[in-house]
């Protein structure tokens, strides 16, 4: 399953590994890719609820939301 998140708070490239590590630390997540220039965060996972993903991003200091595309 793939969930797309969006964040308007990606203001420096150093946020990319922080967010990717926070998401892949969740046992349900197999891959997370952050696109710094667009604010798009692609998350491949088994059964994680979208809110779990948003909370993981929030824990490292960034707001995000689920995006339909």
CATH of the domain at 40: 3.30.70.100
The arithmetic mean of pLDDT across residues 19-35, rounded, is 97
pTM score:
0.93
SS3 67: strand
Region of 11 (left: φ > 0; alpha: ψ -120 to 50; beta: rest) is: alpha
The count of domains in the chain is 1
Give the model confidence (pLDDT) of 41-55 as tens digits. 999 999 889 999 999
- Range of 58's domain? 2-67
Q: Please give the residue that has the higher pLDDT: either 56 or 69.
A: 56
């Amino acid at each position: 399953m793939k969930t797309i998140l969006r964040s308007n708070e990606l203001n420096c490239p150093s946020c990319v590994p922080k967010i990717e590590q926070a998401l892949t630390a969740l046992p349900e997540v197999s891959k997370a890719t952050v696109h710094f220039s667009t604010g798009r965060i692609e998350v491949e996972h088994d059964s994680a609820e979208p809110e779990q993903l948003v909370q993981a991003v929030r824990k490292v200091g960034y707001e995000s939301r689920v995006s339909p595309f």
